[in-house]
Amino acid sequence: MNNAQLRKFFDKIKEDRVVFGPAIQDGKTIIKKIDDFRDLKLDGRLPIFSFKRFFLPEKESLFEYVGVNLSKPSERKTQKIALFGVNARDLKSILIYDQVFEKDPWYQERRENILVIGQMSATSEGKWEKIEEDLFEHLSFDIFLARFAPALDGLSPGESTRDSEPKRARISGDNDLTVFSGSVLGREVLENSGYNDFIHIQFSGPVKEKGIDKRMLRIKEKLEKQHDQAIWDRLGARCIECGKCSIVCPTCFCFRIDDQAELGRGRAERDDRSDNQGTRNRCWDSCFYQEFSELSGGHKFLNTTAKKIHFWYFHKFVRIPEEFDMVGCVGCGRCAEVCPVGIDIKEVLKEIEES
């Protein structure tokens, strides 16, 4: 897909979806609503924030309440959107959301309306020949746009496992994108836009054939065996419980449920004369926040910083793998980037591994 075709494809999608994607602002990659195709920046770089909020908003209304009765929010939008240019790491986190919120009606309703278009620059990912087998088949996307490095020209991603695939969907020019579909929706959208030169990838589940990464299993085991408390004490002494890592982490999905009383409307305007009216919201939470583990009466189970940061790691590297056979970390490194005291997840994992 060359640039002109990409533009046509983008415009076609924009006809019935609001498009969000990576763009550059003040020299940084961010995610924003893309109105002009020229703003879209598909260079494979990670935006500061992940695509989390499109799947799990910071705050969403679960119900409207009148008295004790809960009903579906009347103003709930089911806007159709397209996430245009989701990098492979953020795509991985979608697999986790899909599992965790499998039975969640609000998530499912939102999810149905999201068209996921993945992107990758081969140069930014390396080890290219195994990408289809190791990565593509284990990511959930509707459409994927891959930019192959010129040096690897001639190597088709289909070649390793798909001999019967038509050979036409190859790298053709330096800047062209190779296009894959990953769902029926993706195929339809591509065909409707008049672009047919794509390869279909069959999603083979979130876990590679070889199983969960061996190193991650070692880390899980260490954590389960309470390897070395000193690591957590040291981290506890550094961490300032700001919770920034939770906010930027694509796989931090903790939430709390809060009621918000409505003050605006007078009683006369409502059908029900109950005084008690408002919305029940689900909001992002963080295990670093004070109330996270607090019981009525004030007892806190996570009563030290060390316990909180341990809880954060334990969730990603033990509970998520235990529950879903996936690692709860996509390796994006955003937590390290925003940490005011320089805690680097890579170093922490290395320390755990070597403990």
Q: Say how far apart CA 338 and CA 298 lie, in whole Å.
A: 31
307 binds other proteins (CB under 8 A): yes
Q: Which two tokens stand for residue 187?
A: 């195929």
> Smallest distance from the beta carbon of 209 to other proteins, in angstroms?
25
Q: Total residues at the site for other proteins (CB under 8 A)?
A: 46
Q: What is the DSSP string of 107-149?
A: HHHHHHTEEEEEEEEHHHH--GGGHHHHTGGGS--SEEEEE--
- Residues recorded for the chain: 355
Q: Is 320 helix (H, G, I), strand (E, B) or coil?
A: helix
- Please identify, using beta-carbon distances, which residue of 16 and 259 lies nearer to other proteins: 259
83 Rama sector, left if φ>0, alpha if ψ -120 to 50, beta otherwise:
beta
> Smallest distance from the beta carbon of 275 to other proteins, in angstroms?
9
299 binds other proteins (CB under 8 A): yes
- Please identify, using beta-carbon distances, which residue of 60 and 132 lies nearer to other proteins: 60
The stretch near other proteins (CB under 8 A) out of 32-40, 68-76, 172-180, 188-196 is: 68-76
- Please identify, using beta-carbon distances, which residue of 109 and 344 lies nearer to other proteins: 109
Segment 242-281, which members bind other proteins (CB under 8 A)? Answer: 253-259, 261, 276, 278, 280
68 binds other proteins (CB under 8 A): yes
Q: 178 near 132, Cβ under 8 Å?
A: no
147 binds other proteins (CB under 8 A): no
Q: Is 250 helix (H, G, I), strand (E, B) or coil?
A: coil
49 binds other proteins (CB under 8 A): no
Beta strands in 212-314 (DSSP E): 255-261, 277-284
Helix axis angle for 88-100 and 105-112, nearest 10°, is 140
> Smallest distance from the beta carbon of 63 to other proteins, in angstroms?
7
- Please identify, using beta-carbon distances, which residue of 57 and 278 lies nearer to other proteins: 278
**Of 55, 313, 314, 324, the one binding other proteins by CB under 8 A:** 314
Q: Say how far apart CA 219 and CA 245 lie, in whole Å.
A: 20
Chain residues in the site for other proteins (CB under 8 A): 62-63, 65, 67-70, 100-101, 103-105, 108, 224, 226, 253-259, 261, 276, 278, 280, 285, 287, 291-297, 299, 301-302, 307, 310-311, 314-315, 318-319, 322
